[in-house]
Every structure is written in C-alpha cells, then in structure tokens.
Amino acid sequence: MMSLFQQKKLERLQANKEQGQQFLSENAKREGVITLPSGLQYEVVKMGEGSKPVITDKVKVHYKGTLIDGKEFDSSYKRGTPLEFRVNGVIKGWVEALLLMPAGSIWKLYMPSELAYGDQQAGPLITPGSTLVFDVELLEVK
C-alpha cells in the first residue's frame, strides 16, 4: 500500500515539474519576460524609483500567489494587510527578485519549483514540484 502511495506521489511530482517546465518555456517567449540564469522569470509591470533592498533588509510588500493554472493560493491584498519580512527569510525566488527591485516596483514573478518549495508540499494547494506565479508590489524597504 505504501509503495503505491509513493509511486502516485512521484508521478504527481514528475507531472508538476513537466508542466512547469513547459509553462516556463512558453512564457520565456513572451515579450517583456526576462529569464535569469537561475530560471526565475519576471516581467516589470511598474518600475519603482526607490532604493533596492539588501539581503538583511526588512521589506513591506503586497502580493498575490497563484499556480500556473491561475488558482490563487495566497493574497495579502485579500487580507487587506501588506506583509513585512526580512529579504533573507523567504523562498529563493523571492530573495533573488527582491534584490533587483527598487521600492515602488510591481513585478510579476514566474518561479520554477526549485526556487519556490521544491519537492515539498506547501499548504493544501501547492503540491510538490509546483511552478508558482506571484504578483509582487515592493511598497517599502525598511
């Protein structure tokens, strides 16, 4: 029984990774999408004019996170409260993007699973190997 469960889990992981790679490959062809060597993709919705954070800074952001099918899994906008955290206290893809973003910027991030939660389950909707999409508004560098 356990072996069947493990097999299904592995199949789901592989399917998620394949779907994510296909999505990112197609997304990279769109005008305005920038792909970094790490695999992180982003597009600038609005370029801010404030300072860029450093790894140990605290930042204040609004964000929305979705799966590649558009299903929303989290949103500070819906909660009505921006989130504050240290740049080095979040997933790798966020760290990489935040270090490039001037305050006041709004970027759309497309994150391969290895820059997000990898092969781990993260809540009820983010299954292992999931590619994620975030709308990130960097409100303030503290």
5 as an active site residue: the answer is: no
Which entry of 74, 106, 110, 126 is annotated as an active-site residue?
74
Which entry of 23, 42, 110, 117 is annotated as an active-site residue?
117
Side chain identity at residue 70, one-letter code = G
Which entry of 23, 42, 110, 134 is annotated as an active-site residue?
134
Which entry of 73, 77, 119, 135 is annotated as an active-site residue?
73
74 as an active site residue: the answer is: yes
Which entry of 63, 106, 110, 126 is annotated as an active-site residue?
63
73 as an active site residue: the answer is: yes
Which entry of 57, 68, 77, 91 is annotated as an active-site residue?
91
What are 11-18's contacts with CB under 8 Å, separation 24+? 12/127, 12/128, 12/129, 13/119, 13/127, 13/128, 13/129, 14/129, 15/129, 16/113, 16/127, 16/128, 16/129, 16/130, 16/131, 17/113, 17/129
117 as an active site residue: the answer is: yes
42 as an active site residue: the answer is: no
Give catalytic residues, as residue numbers. Answer: 63, 73-74, 91, 117, 134
